[in-house]
């Protein structure tokens, strides 16, 4: 058994991921908007919004590459080179997202280890 999820499972995860992102946005937006509305207006958005936008962009790229793979499997692919480029872009963006997550977790753990 391989470590990859079938396309149907990835498509099923997308609504769950969107629901989680919406919940995170409402939690972050509720506290940040109440505390500093002027700060969010001047910076263009809160940290939670930036994370949500980044995750949605990576998710959109992954879904697009899965659609391209399905077209390739069926035989409807118009440009194989562009499909391979899109697949590589989505792979690199996913790896970047994972590295950012790892760095954020390390920073959080370092802050939690600090004495008060």
Please spell the DSSP secondary structure of 53-78, one letter per residue.
Answer: HHHHHHHHHHHHHHHHHHHHHHT--S
Model pTM score:
0.57
Q: 29 with 52: CB under 8 angstroms?
A: no
Structure confidence by residue, pLDDT tens digits, 60-70? 999 999 999 99
The average confidence (pLDDT) of the chain is 76
pLDDT digits 0-9 by tens, 24-53: 555 545 444 444 444 444 556 788 899 899
Q: Which residue has the tokens 């769950």?
A: 16
């Amino acid at each position: 058994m391989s470590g990859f999820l079938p396309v149907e499972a990835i498509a099923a995860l997308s609504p769950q991921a969107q629901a989680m992102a919406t919940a995170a946005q409402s939690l972050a937006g509720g506290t940040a908007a109440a505390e500093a509305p002027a700060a969010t207006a001047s910076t263009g958005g809160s940290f939670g919004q930036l994370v949500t936008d980044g995750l949605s962009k990576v998710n959109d790229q992954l879904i697009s590459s899965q659609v391209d793979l399905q077209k390739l499997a069926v035989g409807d692919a118009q440009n194989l080179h562009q499909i391979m480029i899109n697949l590589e872009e989505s792979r690199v963006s996913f790896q970047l997202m994972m590295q950012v997550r790892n760095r954020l977790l390390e920073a959080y753990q370092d802050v939690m280890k600090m004495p008060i």
